[in-house]
Amino acid sequence: MATATATATAAAAAASSSRLPFRRAASSSSSSQLRLPAVPPPRRASFAVVALHKRNPKRLKYASQRQFTRGDAGMLRVQVEPSGEDAWKLEPVVELINRGAVGIIPTDTVYSIVCDLSNNDSVERLRRIKGIGDSKARYAKTILCRSLRDIDTYTTGFPRGTNQGQANIFRAVKRVIPGPYTFILPATKELPKQCIRHGSSTRYAKRRQVGVRLPDDPICEAILQNLDEPLICTSVKSLSEDEWILDPVIIADIYEQQGLDFIVDGGTRIADPSTVVDMTGSYPTIIRQGKGPKLDWMVPEDEEQESRPTFAYKAA
């Protein structure tokens, strides 16, 4: 009888001992609450898990922290609402740009091919894809800026002197940016030479000029505000004709074959490029009329001297 009792006691102890780790594990796991991923608030570019549109499920590969190597996954496609309410989807696009990728994003005018301003390899890829040559433009490619600080860093900036005409011009410019205007300004030494080189030769433009933009588009703004550097951009046009392509689906099908790495689909755009205003001369001169309306302080390129505004200024 004593032996049976001892055996039962030992069996109960063994069972209790075998259940002890589970109880401890359960107690330990219950002490830390399981937290579900937070739903990102609207119109914020804080990043979370992203639902992407990919042609191939394979992941893109990277050679190093800054050097992007395009893998066999094809072009990355991210669809975002035109209002930018789901801009949190743009996390992988920002990461790719910072690593040296070249791709397409919407602006407040047409779609643009963009890359990191300071990545020479990416700028050269953009040049080859677009086929930029010596006769393509009177000025270098355009910088998509994050703020007036970027404009002041890479150009001599807008006039802000004590001269009344300069002060009037600066106030007028601030009223139209962000907006559909590209302003041509003298570049500073902070602008990489690769950004002003024309064609495949080693010669650089004698007059260091660059176009600057502050786009008024929520998708474009969300991307810019989360980048380490501004973007160099050039508008997306047909490879065979001098026409803008406005449908992102058509753009993706055409430019994926050219080796681009991503596209942000923000819906179909209107065929209106930015208005280009040259600020390097004696007067703010419109050299291309686009989406931005002509204002009273802007002078058409062919307008006579006597009809120009009275508050014109001399560029620095």
How buried is residue 107: exposed, middle or buried, by Cβ count under 10 Å (0-12/13-18/19+)? buried
What fold is seen in the domain 62-305? DHBP synthase (3.90.870)
| Cβ within 8 Å of residue 115, ≥6 positions away | 97, 100, 101, 102, 103, 122, 123, 125, 126, 231, 232
pLDDT digits (tens, 9 = 90+) for 129-142: 877 544 444 445 79
| Domain positions in the chain | 62-305
pLDDT tens-digit series, residues 105-131: 999 999 999 999 999 899 989 888 877
Q: How far, in Å, CA of 68 to CA of 261, rounded? A: 9
CB-CB contact of 196 with 137 (8 Å)? no
Render pLDDT for 20-68 as a digit per residue (tens, 0 to 9): 343 333 334 444 444 444 545 555 444 443 333 443 333 333 322 334 4
Of 130-134, 152-156, 184-188, 224-228, the poorest mean pLDDT is in 130-134
Rounded to 5 degrees, what angle do the CA atoms 146, 149, 155 make?
Answer: 100
Query: Alpha carbon of 145 to those of 153, 222, 296: distances in Å?
Result: 10, 12, 25
227 neighbors 117 (Cβ within 8 angstroms): no
Q: pLDDT tens, 259-302?
A: 899 999 999 988 889 999 999 888 899 999 999 999 999 999 88
Q: Which H or E run contains 61?
A: none
Comparing C-alpha atoms, which of 207, 215, 166 is closest to residue 187? 207
Identify the DSSP state of 27: H
Please state, in angstroms and rounded to a whole number, the distance separating the CA atoms of residues 215 and 256: 25
